[in-house]
Amino acid sequence: MKKIKYIVLLLSMMFMSYSCEKVLDKENLSGLAADNVWQDEAYVEAYISTLYHNLRGWEETYSGGYRIMDNIADEGRTCYASFTPNSILLPGLLTAEMEGQIHDMHYWWMYKEIRRCNEYFENMKNSELTGSNITRMNAEVQFLRAFHYFELVKRYGGVPLITKPQRLGDPDLYPKRNSVDECFDFIVKEFDEAAKKFEEAGVISTHNARASQGAALAFKARALLYYASPLFNPDNDIQRWKDAAAAAKAVMDLGVYSLDPDFSKILRRDNDEVIFKKEYKIHSNPDRWHRYDHGRSVAYLPLSQARSDAGYSYPVQEFVDAFRMANGLKITDPASGYDPKHPYVGREPRFYASVTYNGSVWRGETIWTYVGSGPNAISANPWTTNTGYFCRKNMKEDLPDDYFAWSSDDTPFPYMRYADVILMHAEAENEVNGPNADVIHDIQMIWDRAGITGSVPTGLSKDEMRQLIHDERYIELAFEEHRYWDLRRWKEAHTRLSGSKFHGMRITLDTLSVSPLVIDTVYTPVEVDVFVPNFPEYEYLMPIPHSEILANPNLVQNPGW
């Protein structure tokens, strides 16, 4: 095998920051004929590396420089009143004309990536390249095309299915929308075929941020779970839930994935839990304008440690209260041992890995958020916390000494973890057969890894187990861009996210006596939302961008927009 270093591919690749070490040096690249690209395995590899690089990740989840997905459900809030989450999305003021302001939510522009996938297949028809590497690359592109189509369908419902590069003058230049059923059938078929090709190429699982048989099967399960969920399954066709359960079980039966024993370090080391991810590396050039790394951790730091920017998302009290005690009981259960005077004592370990709270230690510093404690105290200052908490999950604690602004972080973005597969199986199986032994075993696996000492309760009804599973997804997958979409597919967003403001915790210290000094810590919930959140029911399907409606006379806008 030839060692691959760097290449500039003039066809569809402008920059490559993903797998750059795997591209061969070539002579006279500017004079390379397009047809020659598809006869050279290294060039084809480089083309696919660009497709991976163009996937969204941490660095692509900012619209104009501020987070959206962490701040529009019931996970976190930003202090900046003018930011899109506070000024547009939470109060339900989104319109189809706002496509440029909400990149996190809109995905229509990723049709350009689908076109690149289609161009790959069109050009490879005439390629003489063969072998297991080509089989693997064909599987990767088919996987990526299905990945993009799923992201489109979960936002918009039925979308045009385009599988060949379009040309001016083509009779189908202005395609109509395919039905939801047709789209999910296509996506499942694509993931199935990709999985078979990966198996043929011997790529069952990977640690290198590339797709695999396991990834294809896991995303097939996710697609089927969405297809079975109330948003797309209003008549509750039970067969869809059966298909989703079987698909998740197929991933589990591969026997190549497992839960990492340390929840706090899942993304900070290679393991058999992360099924598919986007990787980064710290850039060596401090003056670059195009980064390999990202700045999520830097934007979420306590103000005492921030440089250049801060204040992009703070956990809300509702999220904090969702964590159970270490014994597995909810804090509302009288037997749980929860003490409202010491609300952060005795909680399950995932709490301490997810939230920086008053008195906890972050990067060697004790973080105090009580009123008057210093720069990290709860306040309306846009750069510090408005909830009394800081996000800890998936943060890079060992930031380089010169960390600054929107850089310095190489934490991978997790598209799929094995924990999600287990929870998908539990959810689908519960809908089919109720809380049977398989469902309880699934949740117990999650609890055991989390460090919860209690056992998953038995004797629950299907509805009660459904709520438990929803709660587990809330905690386990928090700040990984699942919660907002889960609430939508369950059709719970209009009730969960509308009508009342979310909260933080204002902590004050009262001196009860002077000698000896006795200080009483007082915890007072406070509202943090600038506007009362509102989720209109027509928002369950995103608006197709208005510019696309104008450009294509055959596109029909979603209802309500």
Predicted confidence (pLDDT) per residue in 395-410, tens digit? 999 988 888 877 888 9
Neighbours of 392 (CB within 10 A): 22
Tokens representing 505 are 């915790």
Cβ proximity of 540 and 231 under 8 Å: yes
Cβ proximity of 477 and 420 under 8 Å: yes
What does the pLDDT read at residue 341? 95
**Global pTM value:** 0.92
Predicted confidence (pLDDT) per residue in 523-537, tens digit? 999 999 988 999 999
The verdict on residue 63 lying in a domain is no
Residue 373 scores a pLDDT above 70: yes
Residue 62 scores a pLDDT above 50: no
For 200-209, 275-284, 335-344, which range has the lowest pLDDT when averaged over its residues?
Answer: 275-284
The verdict on residue 313 lying in a domain is yes
Predicted confidence (pLDDT) per residue in 332-364, tens digit? 999 999 999 999 999 999 999 999 999 999 999
Q: Which carries the bigger pLDDT value, residue 217 or residue 82?
A: 217
Residues of the domain holding 326: 68-91+286-411+500-530
464's enclosing H/E stretch is helix 462-476
Q: What is the separation, in whole angstroms, between the first and last Cα of the chain?
A: 54
Residues 73, 30 share a domain: no
Predicted confidence (pLDDT) per residue in 150-198, tens digit? 999 999 999 999 999 999 988 889 999 999 999 999 999 999 999 999 9
Give the pLDDT mean for 471-482: 97
The verdict on residue 390 lying in a domain is yes
- Closest of 411, 368, 534, 395 to residue 478, by C-alpha: 395
Helix/strand/coil for 415: strand
Give the pLDDT mean for 299-309: 88
Predicted confidence (pLDDT) per residue in 423-439, tens digit? 999 999 999 999 999 99
What does the pLDDT read at residue 36? 81
Would strands 503-513 and 274-278 be described as parallel, antiparallel, or unpaired?
Answer: unpaired
The verdict on residue 20 lying in a domain is yes
What does the pLDDT read at residue 43? 96
Residues 15, 75 share a domain: no
Helix/strand/coil for 512: strand
pLDDT bin (cut points 50, 70, 90) of residue 104 is low
Tokens 């695999």 belong to 212
Residues 86, 5 share a domain: no
45's enclosing H/E stretch is helix 41-53
The verdict on residue 149 lying in a domain is no
The verdict on residue 122 lying in a domain is no
Residue 6 scores a pLDDT above 90: no
Cα–Cα distance, 70 to 67 (Å, whole number): 7
pLDDT bin (cut points 50, 70, 90) of residue 199 is very high
- Count of the separate structural domains present in the chain: 2
What does the pLDDT read at residue 102? 72
pLDDT bin (cut points 50, 70, 90) of residue 464 is very high
- Closest of 221, 278, 273, 314 to residue 58, by C-alpha: 278
Give the pLDDT mean for 497-520: 85
Residues 405, 354 share a domain: yes
What's the chain's average pLDDT? 90
The verdict on residue 125 lying in a domain is no
Within its chain, how far is the Cα of 16 from the centroid?
A: 23
Share of the chain above pLDDT 90, in %: 76
Share of the chain above pLDDT 70, in %: 89
Residue 223 scores a pLDDT above 90: yes
Peptide linkage before 533 cis (omega within 30 of 0): no
Residue 255 scores a pLDDT above 60: yes
What does the pLDDT read at residue 543? 95
Cα–Cα distance, 49 to 17 (Å, whole number): 9
Neighbours of 180 (CB within 10 A): 18
What does the pLDDT read at residue 287? 55
Give the pLDDT mean for 55-64: 65
pLDDT bin (cut points 50, 70, 90) of residue 60 is low
The verdict on residue 396 lying in a domain is yes
For 394-403, 460-469, 470-479, which range has the lowest pLDDT when averaged over its residues?
Answer: 394-403
